[in-house]
Structure 1
C-alpha cells in the first residue's frame, strides 16, 4: 500500500469533542494508559474519516498503522459511544416544543445494505427476504426520523427490516404513541406523507385520490397543497445525514447495527449544527 497526505473536511472542534467522549469511555471501562495503539484524538480522527468518506476499514486501518481488526473495534466502540449520546424521542419532541416550533415531520428511509439471507413470513404466508424492500427493489434497513420544520433531524429510530411498511415500523417502535403524546400534551402536531395514512390523531397525512378516478374536492386539494409545502422540508433531514456522512449511503455491517450508526451520525450532525444540549 502507498500512503498519501489528505485533508478531512470536519472542524477540529468535532475531533476534539469525539476524543473527549472516547477518553471518558476508556476511563469508564478501566483502560490502562499506554495500552491502546492510537490516542483518543487519533481514534476520533479515524472514526470521522470512516463516517465522512466511508472507506474500507482494512485500508483505513493501514492508513493509521493499525490492523483491520483494530480498525473495526475502534469504529464499533465510537459508534456505540456516539449513539448513546443521541436524545430519546420524548426529549427531542419536548425540546422542539420548548423552542416554539409549530410542528414536526415524520419520514422513513431505506438505508441500503449488502444482500442478506435472513427470511421471514409475509402477511400472505409466503417466505420472503426480511431485509428486501419491494418498493425500492433493494436490500436495506428501514429507519424512521423526526425532523424540525426547517428539516434538521432531531431523532432517528432503531433499524427495522426493509420489507416492512413505514407505518408498521412507526407503530412497532411506539413512535406513533410518542407523537400522539406530543400532539395532545405539547400541542405539537406531526406532518407525514401518505405512507402513514391511518396513523391516528395528531399525525396529519394527505387525502388520497379517489379510486374511481374522481378529482378530490377543492378543500381537500388545498389541504394537500398546504401540507405538501410544509412537509417537503422534512425530506431534507435524511439528505443532511447521508450527504454529510458518506458511510450511510451503503452499509456492509449487520443491518441491525444501522440504527446505532445513524444515531451516531445524528450526534455528529447536532454538534456541527450547534444543536447539542448544554450537558454535552
Structure 2
C-alpha cells in the first residue's frame, strides 16, 4: 500500500466546529480521556474528508492509522452529531421569516444508493407488488427528500428519507410539511412556491396552473403566473446543487435508505456553518 500527501478544501473553522460537537458528545457519554483512537480534531477531519471526497472508509482509516471498524464508527458518530444540529421545519421557517425573506421554495430530490440491502415491498394502486424504494420517475432505487429553500436558494431544511415510489405530495403530507407551510403562510406571511407535483397541497403553497385537458391554451394571466413561478422557483434547484455539489458523500451512498436522511441532514448543517446561516447562540 502506497501512502501520499493529500488536502481537503474545508475551512479550519468547520473542523473546529465539528470537533467541539464531538467533544460535547464524548462528555455526554462519559468517555474517559485517552480511551479513543484519536482526538476530536482528527476525528472531525476524518469525517469531513469523507463528506467532501466520499473516500473509501477502510482506506481513509488506514491513512489515519485506525482500523476499518474504528473508521466506520467514527464517521457514523460524526454524522449523528451533525444531524442532531439540523433545524426542524418550524425552526427553519421561523428563521427565514425573521431574516425578512418573502417566500420559501418547496422542492424534492431523490438521492441514489449503491447497495441492495433493501427488500421492502408494497402494493401499488393497481394491486401489483412493487419495490418500496424504487422510483418509476427516476428509474432508480433511492430515497426522496422534500426540502425548503430560502429565496436565494440556500437550503434551509430537509426531511427524513421517504420511499422512492411515493409521489411528491404524498411525501410532503406524511412528513407534515404541507401543514407546516399552510401555517407559515397564514401566521408568518411566508408562502411557499412549488412545482406541479404539489398541486392541491393547500393554502399558501403556490403551484403552476395546469394546462386544460381539452387542449385549449391557458389564459394570458395564467401563463404570466406560471412564467413568474418558474422565474422564482429555479433557486430551489440551486439549493440542491449546493448540497450535492459540495458534499460528494451524497452522490452515491451505501447506507440503508433510512440512514440517508441523517447524512443529508448532516450535510445541511455543514452547509449552514459555511454560509453562516445559523440561529443566534449556535
Q: State whether TM-score is above 0.5.
A: yes
1:114-263 matches, cutoff 5 A: 114=114, 115=116, 116-263=118-265
The match for 1:58 is 58
CA distance, structure 1, for counterparts of residue 23 and residue 3 of structure 2: 28
Query: Which consecutive residues of structure 2, in runs of 5 or more, have no partner in the other structure?
Result: none
CA distance, structure 2, for counterparts of residue 2 and residue 168 of structure 1: 50
After superposition, the C-alpha distances for 1:204-257 in whole angstroms (9 at most, x for unaligned) are 000111222211111110000011111111111111000000000111011101
CA distance, structure 1, for counterparts of residue 105 and residue 38 of structure 2: 41
Q: Secondary structure at the match of 1:120?
A: strand
CA distance, structure 2, for counterparts of residue 194 and residue 14 of structure 1: 38
Q: Secondary structure at the match of 2:52?
A: helix
What TM-score, normalized by structure 2, do the two folds share?
A: 0.98
Q: CA RMSD in A?
A: 0.8
CA distance, structure 1, for counterparts of residue 170 and residue 250 of structure 2: 23
What TM-score, normalized by structure 1, do the two folds share?
A: 0.98
The match for 2:80 is 80
The match for 1:21 is 21
CA distance, structure 1, for counterparts of residue 46 and residue 168 of structure 2: 34
CA distance, structure 1, for counterparts of residue 260 and residue 42 of structure 2: 24
The question of whether the paired residues in 1 share the 8 Å contact of 2:95 and 2:279 is answered with no
After superposition, the C-alpha distances for 1:122-153 in whole angstroms (9 at most, x for unaligned) are 12211101100000000000011100010000
The match for 1:11 is 11
1:117 Cα deviation from its structure 2 partner: 2.5
1:64 Cα deviation from its structure 2 partner: 1.0
CA distance, structure 1, for counterparts of residue 85 and residue 125 of structure 2: 37
